[in-house]
Structure 1
């Protein structure tokens, strides 16, 4: 079985924090590869500042470049909206029977997982690797037997910060992979 981590997100835009976490996951956990699953619409988030799906996918592809450990996935683009993790996992598990899928998530998502569609099925059938965010109490994960906490360095960078900084005219090119930054500049994204 190919151990494949699924890193779900809007990646609006992808930044060096996402890439550092992805790098950590493939180097320090049991997963062999990591797929960035670009989500069209998180049912728990508002859509108003979301770039078009294919632009966000392009940003991820540019960030990945030729790193064969990573893959950009548009699987949720063709699934019913809004996207639910359990539905995506069911689809991928059927399509890729030689893969064992792991869910990668930030600790903020673990704290709200009880609100997710079929959370009990998800927690019973899939391994979850949690990236701890500042203020996270690891003891809160002990009630979930298939959840492991990654001992990754903490990143305090967010896509919201990136969007706001661009809107304010700040030069933040070093917060994004260069090819992604270049694409944002070419397309004039987030400036208004």
Structure 2
């Protein structure tokens, strides 16, 4: 792995200024233009300094059937991350974590001067209560939810949205999200992108 991909820590002299990093977790099976679209919107609407794509060795909620090897998925993410402030990283492989709650806890321990914003689509918020220790994630990082086609109503009616309703930040204040006391989250109705990893895999199987 390239040395530049090493995690900054409090003691190695790398992490000297306070920055804000948006985290996008996922299988990236494969990475596609929709991922880059969300990352660019996060840079603009949230005011984060960087966006890291955390390529999961294996999403606990997804089947292994049809899952490309980790190295292929990481490579596809690195090819797709065509922006100087978007980086595809193997953080969970390095940390040995399987659940987002554990990944965030370890990142906060190792990178105390970085403010993290967890970025996800509305489809994930709709089923967020199935994630391991999901409520702790809201207390570990600010959360930014980006709208996805057909998921808005389900997401905003979800168990997680109701549990943390009083901590929701108006979309007009999205750029202040990372500086707010936790928990804090925002739902952003932004321009949607039609790309889907599932459709890309289906097209590849059909030779399209």
Cα RMSD, aligned residues only: 1.7
Within the alignment, does 1:72 sit opposite 2:110 as a pair?
no
Q: CA deviation at 1:157?
A: 2.0
Contact 1:21 1:152 in 2 (8 A): no
Contact 1:29 1:150 in 2 (8 A): no
TM-score by length of 2: 0.75
Q: CA deviation at 1:105?
A: 0.6
Contact 2:126 2:156 in 1 (8 A): no
- Alpha-carbon displacement from aligned partner over 1:59-80 (angstroms, at most 9, x marks no partner): 1111124x32111110111344
Within the alignment, does 1:20 sit opposite 2:37 as a pair?
yes
Contact 2:43 2:51 in 1 (8 A): yes
Q: Which residue of 1 aligns with 2:60?
A: 43
Question: Unaligned 5+ residue runs, structure 2?
Answer: 1-17, 168-183
2: distance between equivalents of 1:96 and 1:124? Answer: 16
Question: Unaligned 5+ residue runs, structure 1?
Answer: 171-192
Within the alignment, does 1:61 sit opposite 2:78 as a pair?
yes
DSSP 3-state at the match of 2:30:
coil
2: distance between equivalents of 1:103 and 1:61? Answer: 20
4+ runs of 1 displaced by more than 6 Å?
Answer: none
